[in-house]
Amino acid sequence: MSEQRRRLLVVEDDRGLQSQLRWCFEDYEVLVAEDRESALGQLRRHEPAVVLQDLGLPPDAEGVSEGFATLEQILAMAPSTKVIVVTGHGDQHNAVKAVGLGAYDFYQKPVDTDVLQLIVDRAWQIHELELENQRLARQQAVSPLDGIVAAGPKMLQVCRIIEKVAPTTATTLVLGESGTGKELMARAIHSLSPRADRAFVAINCAAIPEALLESELFGHEKGAFTGAVRQTPGKVETADGGTLFLDEIGDMPLALQAKLLRFLQERVVERVGGREEIPVDVRVVCATNQDLDAAIREGRFREDLYYRISEITVRLPPLREREIGKLVLARILLEKAASQHRRRISGFSADAQHAIENHSWPGNVRELENKIRSAVILAEGKHVTAADLGLGDIDASPPNLNLREVRRIAETEAIRRALTLSKDNVSQAAKLLGITRPTLYDLLQKYGIQSAEKADGSSPG
């Protein structure tokens, strides 16, 4: 990346200043634009790391409205760009406002080229560092297990467990909502085990009719039932020496649960209609998105089987709880999809990042993957936008600069987290927040937040 010539975009309508700047930045490939439209065009085509932008642009060369609009669009399109705004002499107010909108720095006219060079060089270095940082985060996220992105502390922990469990023969239960990567983890357990070069046999207990499941699992002898025209080994036998993956184990019918339990205890299979006991050596991995505790309470799942299959339990967090990892995962999936579809896409727009952070992702990683895949196909620019992701209606407005509103949102969020962490114990939540209990009560009232403890004592709603 650093091999490429450093690109600087100068957005300035004054011809004299344009050539002065060109001359001053001879270490850079200087691109020039005189208005918003040509600036955005240059940005799209050349992706300069640093932009030097005059706030007074035509048709409002004397004011700042066009300058601010340009700044906002540049940052929405390419959020990592370092924009340095150039304001008129003494125009501190607009300079600060620009930084509030996301500009990297400001500079006041008249131009002192030595100082400006320093500012631009530093902006460029910071941009490089940020790129390098992102690259390292991605590298670290991909490394532990092949094909699995382990971004953020929760997923790193999961991968560490997988790495430890894989070489053993411990029966492993993988739990997680739909689309969190249970099958991916089951395959990783297999491929990191000494059984990697033997079979990985998966069976989806929810997809096969109850009447057929037993024969699917354990096989049958010729003539065991109508249609059993030849002797057929089951999946368990096929997996001999390898790994048997029982997907959606929570949906296994009770009668078969007893047979599976027997297999896990004795490690022999008896084909349907057969008498022979065939010894089988398999490593068993199970997965489900069901709440097995509830299933046990409701008599749908055998408790003794549960203990058998959960020698080790791996819990995959839903995507919405992977605070740090979401965007890193999204970036990696984007890179993958872009190269698959041979599209030159360099990242997410600011509104897309915002939408990814804030969407609840009920379909978890699968949903994210699907949305990114179709966005890569639909995207018109080099950046995928929230609309490309089909998340366009999630608050796409520019960053909120009303301090009172910003404070309200931040405080509400912190209070909600403290209440969750303290299981709705108000005293404990107040302690976590570093405020007194009465102050917390005031804030709960002010922001209309319900806590279970508070609701118990007061209003019914």
Ligand X SMILES: Nc1ncnc2c1ncn2[C@@H]1O[C@H](COP(=O)(O)OP(=O)(O)OP(=O)(O)O)[C@@H](O)[C@H]1O
Residues in contact with ligand X by CB under 6 A are: 148-149, 176, 178-184, 289, 365-366, 369
Number of C-beta neighbours around residue 177 at 10 A: 17
CB of 247 to Mg ion, least distance (A): 5
Please provide residue 283's backbone torsions phi and psi, each rounded to the nearest 5 degrees.
Answer: -95, 125
Return d(Cα 169, Cα 364) in angstroms, integer: 29
CB of 1 to ligand X, least distance (A): 24
Q: Cβ closer to Mg ion: 183 or 411?
A: 183
Distance of CA 421 to the CA centre of its chain: 22
CB of 253 to ligand X, least distance (A): 19
The residues, ordered by sequence, that sit 6+ positions from 138 with a Cβ below 8 Å of its Cβ are 328, 331, 332, 335
CB of 249 to ligand X, least distance (A): 12
Q: Cβ closer to ligand X: 120 or 186?
A: 186
Which does residue 180 touch among ligand X, Mg ion, none (CB within 5 to 8 A, set by kind)? ligand X
Return d(Cα 9, Cα 130) in angstroms, integer: 19
Q: Cβ closer to ligand X: 84 or 150?
A: 150
The residues, ordered by sequence, that sit 6+ positions from 266 with a Cβ below 8 Å of its Cβ are 277
For residues 32 and 65, the answer to whether their CB atoms sit within 8 Å is no
Which does residue 347 touch among Mg ion, ligand X, none (CB within 5 to 8 A, set by kind)? none
Which does residue 184 touch among ligand X, Mg ion, none (CB within 5 to 8 A, set by kind)? ligand X
Return d(Cα 106, Cα 83) in angstroms, integer: 8
CB of 243 to ligand X, least distance (A): 15
CB of 369 to ligand X, least distance (A): 5
Return d(Cα 133, Cα 383) in angstroms, integer: 19
CB of 298 to ligand X, least distance (A): 20
Q: Cβ closer to Mg ion: 73 or 191?
A: 191
Cis status, amide bond into 59, omega within 30 of 0: yes
Q: Cβ closer to Mg ion: 118 or 207?
A: 207
CB of 126 to ligand X, least distance (A): 30
CB of 200 to ligand X, least distance (A): 13
Return d(Cα 344, Cα 155) in angstroms, integer: 29
Q: Cβ closer to Mg ion: 34 or 183?
A: 183
CB-nearest residue to Mg ion: 183
CB of 193 to Mg ion, least distance (A): 19
For residues 41 and 33, the answer to whether their CB atoms sit within 8 Å is yes
Using N-to-C axis directions, what is the helix angle for 210-218 and 254-266, rounded to 10°? 10
Amino acid 28 reads Y
Which does residue 369 touch among Mg ion, ligand X, none (CB within 5 to 8 A, set by kind)? ligand X
Q: Cβ closer to ligand X: 78 or 166?
A: 166
The 8-class DSSP code of residue 4 comes to: S
Q: Cβ closer to Mg ion: 60 or 183?
A: 183
CB of 287 to Mg ion, least distance (A): 6
Radius of gyration for the chain, computed over Cα atoms and rounded to the nearest angstrom: 30
The residues binding Mg ion (CB under 5 A) are: 183
CB-nearest residue to ligand X: 181
Return d(Cα 97, Cα 389) in angstroms, integer: 30
For residues 415 and 443, the answer to whether their CB atoms sit within 8 Å is yes
For residues 31 and 9, the answer to whether their CB atoms sit within 8 Å is yes
Amino acid 127 reads H
Q: Cβ closer to ligand X: 242 or 250?
A: 250
Buried b (16+ CB within 10 A) or exposed e, 407-440: eeeeebeebeebbeebebbbebbbebbeeeeeeb
Nearest residue to 301 via CA among 311, 310, 315, 291: 291
Strands 278-279 and 268-269: antiparallel
Q: Cβ closer to ligand X: 31 or 166?
A: 166
Which does residue 179 touch among Mg ion, ligand X, none (CB within 5 to 8 A, set by kind)? ligand X
Nearest residue to 233 via CA among 273, 275, 271: 271
Q: Cβ closer to ligand X: 45 or 160?
A: 160
- H-helix or E-strand spanning residue 97: helix 92-100
